[in-house]
């Protein structure tokens, strides 16, 4: 029986590198790599060895005969990717042509150790650190503005996607690496300058992500109860900068602008039975709020039609199987149904073909039960309410319509913020660079969303970081990196002199133990510490008490 890749695929291509028959595609050497939503196993070539399942960092690969529920559809999804393709015949069981051998890096045998600071401990930063630690003798300093590592994996992945969070376990292996030092709770521009950081290292890689949100630019956007999906995701993931009072779930209807993966995440969390979230690492305050929530309906607004859904097919497919939640398509525009009915089997819109359609009467309160409504060809033009959100005015054909709602979330994308001391492109929200090398600065590099913009999931950062590390090593071999004058320990003395609450690897391990202990008390995988003081206290070995 062959294997199949399922919903949680992160596309980091770890599975590709271990497959003995080259049956997983697209590979990093193929043009389609990075443009598909996931990777696929060719059932005609797979020899059932299981190497891919063992290597997958997010538990996305399973034998086809073990798939159940919504996962069963992934056997056909994997096979469909290879239909109509003309593989190049070769000898043996493998009929996929192998990529040409490539050796893009060549380090001299006497390559001296270099000191590299990596700013940001999310996927991009950790892929860069992993590359340096596994393939060079570099010494790496991990720097993060928060007193805990994890970045997007800890604070961006929905709590009901525990398999995706397993990528963090892979990264955590390097937190205690003998050539790694950690300085968590240290922010460039607040605690020290980019110049000071550079002076203590041969090179610096900034992998700070894109933590701001894009704005709609419509009247009323700043009313109370109108927030970004970024803030909502941070709130339910116990981010220290999203306190419990960030969100109030006192309304029956919530309107979300956008239909990408983040929009689907927030919609799913809002209507999922809290009992199903009780065994996840969702924030304590979010779980309590969801238990008392009055939300029964979430409306997902799409500016364009169902043929332009911004979410991945796997996330949409999962939504159609959400227990106890009805999925409805608002049939206010005839183009919506025409697009869905005319969609080809491999198009995302086709996944909505069996979804009920109705012309929703927005003057009525939400229907009984819990449901998610897709409303296409509809964009917000104004958020209404004298003191807080009471309704959202949206486009409706050639006119406009008001949808009563007590909470409005914009999920239209992330945006990078300037890093003090680095150039910044306001139009793209990124740092200008060439192959990861920051324009106009020596020995300074970028990786991840601050480099390429907020696109691609966790695994996309592997190839992005590899390019940046390759550029850095080229510069090192060429002898253009300045050698740091201070000894290695001088940077940590500097960091501690600027902030007494710097967390190192030992402190991070103490935080992990405290959160796991809190989880055991509640019968959950972990209970996240949700404030900086709580994280710092745990790092110092202080007592921690669950607030449940």
Q: pLDDT averaged over consecutive 10-residue blocks of the chain (548 residues)?
A: 92 92 90 90 93 94 92 92 70 65 81 95 97 96 97 95 91 96 96 96 97 94 96 97 95 97 97 95 97 97 96 93 95 96 93 95 92 97 96 94 97 94 96 97 97 90 95 95 88 88 95 96 94 95 51
> What is the signed CA dihedral for 70, 75, 78, 82, rounded to 10 degrees?
-140
CA–CA dist 228, 493 (Å, integer): 38
At 319 the pLDDT is 92
> What CATH number should be reported for the domain whose range is 228-410?
3.50.50.60
Beta-sheet pairing, 399-404 with 391-396? antiparallel
pLDDT at position 85, please? 72
Going by C-beta distance under 8 Å and a sequence separation of 6 or more, which residues neighbour residue 445? 203, 204, 205, 206, 433, 436, 437, 438, 468, 471, 472
pLDDT at 546: 41
Per-residue pLDDT of 458-499, as tens digits, reads: 989 999 999 999 999 999 999 999 988 888 889 999 999 987
Q: Residue 397 has what pLDDT? A: 86
Query: Strand, helix or coil at 446?
Result: strand
- For residue 232, what are the CA distances in angstroms to 247, 263, 382? 7, 10, 20
Helix (H) or strand (E) segment spanning residue 400: strand 399-404
- pLDDT score recorded for residue 335: 96
- As assigned by CATH, the class of the 115-211+416-503 domain is alpha beta
Domain map (residue ranges) of the chain: 3-82, 115-211+416-503, 228-410
Residue 12: count other Cβ atoms within 10 Å of its Cβ.
Answer: 24
pLDDT at 547: 39
**pLDDT value of position 261:** 95
Residues 6+ apart with CB under 8 A from 217: none
Sequential DSSP letters for 32-53: TTTTSSS-EE-TTT-----HHH
Class for domain 3-82, per CATH? alpha beta
pLDDT value at residue 498: 86
- pTM for the model stands at 0.93
- Confidence at residue 504, expressed as pLDDT on a 0 to 100 scale: 95
The pLDDT assigned to 548 comes to 37
């Amino acid at each position: 029986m062959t294997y199949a890749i399922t919903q949680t695929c992160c596309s980091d291509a770890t599975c590709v590198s271990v497959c003995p028959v080259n049956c997983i595609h697209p590979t990093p050497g193929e043009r389609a790599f990075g443009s598909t939503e996931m990777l696929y196993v060719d059932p005609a070539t797979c020899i059932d060895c299981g190497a891919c399942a063992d290597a997958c960092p997010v538990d996305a690969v399973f034998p086809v005969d073990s798939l159940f529920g919504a996962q069963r559809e992934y056997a056909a999804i994997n096979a469909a990717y290879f239909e109509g393709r003309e593989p190049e015949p070769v000898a043996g069981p493998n009929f996929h042509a192998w990529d040409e051998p490539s050796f893009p890096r060549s380090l001299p045998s006497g390559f001296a150790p270099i000191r590299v600071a990596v700013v940001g401990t999310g996927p991009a930063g950790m892929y860069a650190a992993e590359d340096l630690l596994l393939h060079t003798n570099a010494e790496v300093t991990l720097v993060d503005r928060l007193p805990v590592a994890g970045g997007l994996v800890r604070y961006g992945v929905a709590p009901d996607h525990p398999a995706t969070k397993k990528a963090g376990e892979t990264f955590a292996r390097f937190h205690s690496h003998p050539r790694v030092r950690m300085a968590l709770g240290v922010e460039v521009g607040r605690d020290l300058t980019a110049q000071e950081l550079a002076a203590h290292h041969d090179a610096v890689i900034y992998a700070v992500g894109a933590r701001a949100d894009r704005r709609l630019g419509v009247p009323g956007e700043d009313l109370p109860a109108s927030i970004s999906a970024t803030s909502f995701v941070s709130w339910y993931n116990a981010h220290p900068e999203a306190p419990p009072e960030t969100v109030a779930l006192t309304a029956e209807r919530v309107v979300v602008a956008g239909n990408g993966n983040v929009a689907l995440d927030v919609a799913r969390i809002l209507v999922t039975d809290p009992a199903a979230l009780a065994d996840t690492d969702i924030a304590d305050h979010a779980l309590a709020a969801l238990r008392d929530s009055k939300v029964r309906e979430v409306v997902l607004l799409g500016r364009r039609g169902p043929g332009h859904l911004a979410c991945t097919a796997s996330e949409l497919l999962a939504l159609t199987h959400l227990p106890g939640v009805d999925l409805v398509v608002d049939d206010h525009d005839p183009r919506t149904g025409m697009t869905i009915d005319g969609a080809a089997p491999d198009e995302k819109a086709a996944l909505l073909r069996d979804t009920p359609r109705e012309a929703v009467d927005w003057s009525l309160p939400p229907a009984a039960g819990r449901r998610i409504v897709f409303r296409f060809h509809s964009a917000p033009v104004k958020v209404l309410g004298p003191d807080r959100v009471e309704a959202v005015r949206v486009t409706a054909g050639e006119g406009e319509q008001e949808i009563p709602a007590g909470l409005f979330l914009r999920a239209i994308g992330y945006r990078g913020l300037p890093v003090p001391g680095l150039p910044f492109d306001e139009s793209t929200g990124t740092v200008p660079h060439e192959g990861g090398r920051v324009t106009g600065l020596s020995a300074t590099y970028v990786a991840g969303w601050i480099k390429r913009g907020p696109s691609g999931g966790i695994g996309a950062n592997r190839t992005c970081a590899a390019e940046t590390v390759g550029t850095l090593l080229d510069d090192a071999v060429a002898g253009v990196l300045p050698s740091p004058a201070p000894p290695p320990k001088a940077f940590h003395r500097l960091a501690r002199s600027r902030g007494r609450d710097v967390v190192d690897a030992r402190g991070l391990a103490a935080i992990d133990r405290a959160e796991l202990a809190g989880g055991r008390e509640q019968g959950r995988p972990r209970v996240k510490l949700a404030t900086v003081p709580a994280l710092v206290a745990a790092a110092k070995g202080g007592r921690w008490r669950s607030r449940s």
